[in-house]
Chains A and B, each alone.
Chain A
């Protein structure tokens, strides 16, 4: 489609035409090509499907769609066959032909490709029945599997850009803002600030031009929902931004996206070009007289650039150092002009609020946190993936019902939320309803939505050390409390992990943490002590064991552990001796082996290779 759509009515007829041209009963093969699935080698599977379809002269007769991330990353490569929505997981590269012949052409189910719940042993045929999906509320993320991210027609066919049409033709900018305020949409990037209030401030601020920015500098390790949304459904984010720009009175916007997300960059570029060609972006959008255009800027790989003022500095071509925010970005942001910054997921919520209304939206979620939230559920969890649930869903439901619990029969220990600025939540709080306020109350935070599950084999001192070390590397270095303070905290944590911890270290860490919270310039520094504070709060006994007993209860901190072999369990299979790089492990074949502590470097290769669980780490 290249001709410009000149009005809302014309948009509606284009949508109708596209919808009518699609037979809902026609078979369609959908393959997830999100970054997670691509890492499994899915690109080859796509080629195989195209080839096999061509071989059977079925190209065009059977629809074939590559879509963005479906969220169930654990089970990729994934294929869904419509109209029945038959769900095949862990599909082999050579399975394409068989799927076409048996399932698509003859309606036969291929048993070995079905999902089997590891906990109950139950087998599922249809995507919607799989517990991982069934227990979610996939409002924002659900469209991902319905559209090819490179096809605007797909997006229009499911009613895409209707919200924009409604906003531009039937609503005043102030009305849109009121609607977003009423919906109580709170920023999904971590801060949780009400988006509508921010829009209102920016609209009322003096100064031209006004900018709107999409923050796609998703730097939290273990979180990738923004990437998957931008990759999988770029038009949704664009639509949200254009509506926001109209409400705020902005004609120029930016998308600041991590350079490490090449597929997201590519897909948003394509979407912008398509939207411009269709008259949905650029001048005189939908014939309304409203002009708005966007530029993409790729980040340089700095965590701190997710902070608004650092992001502006980076957009201006400078080092991303935050500034003190005596004046809000809504008044003086990018190039000192009024600027409204929202994160990818926040923008992605906007079309739904406009389309279905604030009352409908506010019906989802809790008193203070409305709508849904997408979480990236990772770590020691059976169903790694992206999970969208209403605000207020309990951690237990997310971890055990949707996430399928902990692998290998291990015990749940903690869940870390909020990325490096967040905290570790222990089992005692697992029935906590997850929303902005509840998480803050117990010393963690929502953050952008990373959820890292840890089991009994994870050491909480090590986790605190990991995050603190991450923040030492990512601190921009501008203010002393953050630059020097976090570094000193890291040194103390390293000492504790190395068995050089001293009495009083925990109290010293707490004291320093308070100093950093009070003194640091930006949110990175202010929240940097959270992982340490929360692990001390809930796992103080582990700190004490490291300091007083020189012992790492989880068997992680290298200086405090020794490797040995349980003679009862060892069968003398010699595998450990083969993988040991220093020849510390060894013995006579078929007899219990031993490890020479003098040679052992504690690299872990023996434990990983042992099939009889006979390596003891204490």
Chain B
């Protein structure tokens, strides 16, 4: 882990002002921000760990918890909101049994709501593992979740 962090820090020539992008790259590498990685960033960038922690907890993009294998993001921009995104959010929460921002205990699913994705013509938009699903409604979101569930089940059998 340390080697990877050093590599990322060097990408930015060890410049402290790039703390946010450095953390973004670290998160992309590990899917979240592991504690050890944060200490490495702190050491190699000569920024106190308290400052690193302050920045990590300030910005919404960072997660101190591991994310699930399947990542669902629902756009909660105003355009999606006025077209009923909130009802879809509740449906996804009820289906997965978690609240927005959480990950299921088996680390299979993460669900988050995000600010505007800027695909307002498609609103409401649900992004499933990077793929956009537009004109979302309650029934469609249930269908997507059921399909994902089946895929997860078959993957498990193969394991």
Residues of chain A whose beta carbon lies under 8 Å from any beta carbon of chain B: 35-36, 39-40, 73-74, 76, 219-224, 227-228, 259-261, 297-303, 314-320, 376, 378-380, 384-385, 416, 419, 450, 452-454, 458, 463, 466-467, 470, 476, 579, 581, 603-605, 608-609
Contacts and interface: CB of A to CB of B under 8 A. Distances in A.
B139 A579 contact: yes
A298 B118 contact: no
Interface in B69-89: 76-79, 81-84, 87
A39 B119 contact: yes
Nearest to A575: B139
A227 B118 CA distance: 8
Contact of B139 (A453, A476, A608): A608
Interface of B: 16-21, 23-24, 47, 51, 54-55, 58-62, 76-79, 81-84, 87, 90-91, 94, 114-123, 125, 132, 134, 137-139, 142
B87 A604 contact: yes
Given A74-B121, A605-B142, 11 more contacts: A39-B125, A259-B24, A300-B20, A300-B58, A318-B54, A378-B78, A384-B123, A579-B138, A603-B138, A604-B87, A605-B138
Given A35-B118, A608-B139, A317 B132 contact: no
Nearest to A453: B82
Contact of A317 (B18, B79, B122): B18
A603 B90 contact: yes
B77 A73 contact: no
A222 B91 contact: no
The 4 A-B residue pairs with the shortest CB-CB distance, nearest first, are A300-B59, A224-B118, A378-B79, A317-B19
Given A223-B116, A259-B24, A302 B60 contact: yes
Given A74-B121, A76-B121, A302-B60, A317 B20 contact: yes
B116 A379 contact: no
A70 B23 CA distance: 34
23 contacts: A36-B120, A39-B119, A74-B121, A76-B121, A220-B116, A222-B77, A222-B79, A227-B118, A260-B115, A297-B21, A298-B20, A299-B20, A300-B24, A301-B115, A317-B16, A318-B55, A320-B59, A378-B79, A379-B79, A452-B82, A603-B90, A603-B138, A604-B84
Contact of B82 (A40, A298, A458): A458
Contact of A222 (B51, B54, B61, B120): B120
B61 A380 contact: no
Given A316-B17, A317-B47, A318-B51, A36 B78 contact: no
B23 to A, nearest CB: 8
Given A297-B21, A315-B17, A317-B20, A221 B116 contact: yes
A380 B83 contact: yes
Contact of B134 (A39, A224, A380): A39
Contacts of B19: 317-318
Contacts of A416: 78
Contacts of B90: 603
Contact of A320 (B16, B58, B81, B91): B58
Given A300-B55, A300-B62, A603-B87, A39 B116 contact: no
A442 B16 CA distance: 45
A319 B24 CA distance: 14
A18 to B, nearest CB: 32
Contact of A379 (B17, B54, B82, B122): B82
A36 B115 CA distance: 15
A319 B16 CA distance: 13
B78 A379 contact: yes
Given A298-B24, A463-B82, A581 B120 contact: no
A365 B78 CA distance: 28
A466 B78 contact: yes
A452 B120 CA distance: 10
Contact of A378 (B60, B76, B94, B120): B120
A302 B114 CA distance: 11
Contact of A452 (B58, B61, B78, B117): B78
B113 to A, nearest CB: 10
B78 A450 contact: yes
A509 B116 CA distance: 27
A300 B61 contact: yes
A581 B47 CA distance: 51
The interface centre, meaning the residue of A76, A378, A466, A579 with most chain B CB atoms within 10 A of its CB, is A378
Nearest to B20: A300
A79 to B, nearest CB: 16
A260 B117 contact: yes
Contact of A454 (B23, B59, B82, B139): B82
Contacts of A76: 121
A385 B121 CA distance: 7
A222 B55 CA distance: 26
Contacts of A299: 20, 59
A454 B62 CA distance: 33
Contact of B58 (A223, A470, A476): A476
A376 B134 CA distance: 18
A314 B78 contact: no
Contacts of A260: 61, 114-115, 117
Given A39-B125, A73-B121, A222-B116, A301 B60 contact: yes
Contact of A384 (B61, B76, B79, B114): B79
B119 A319 contact: no
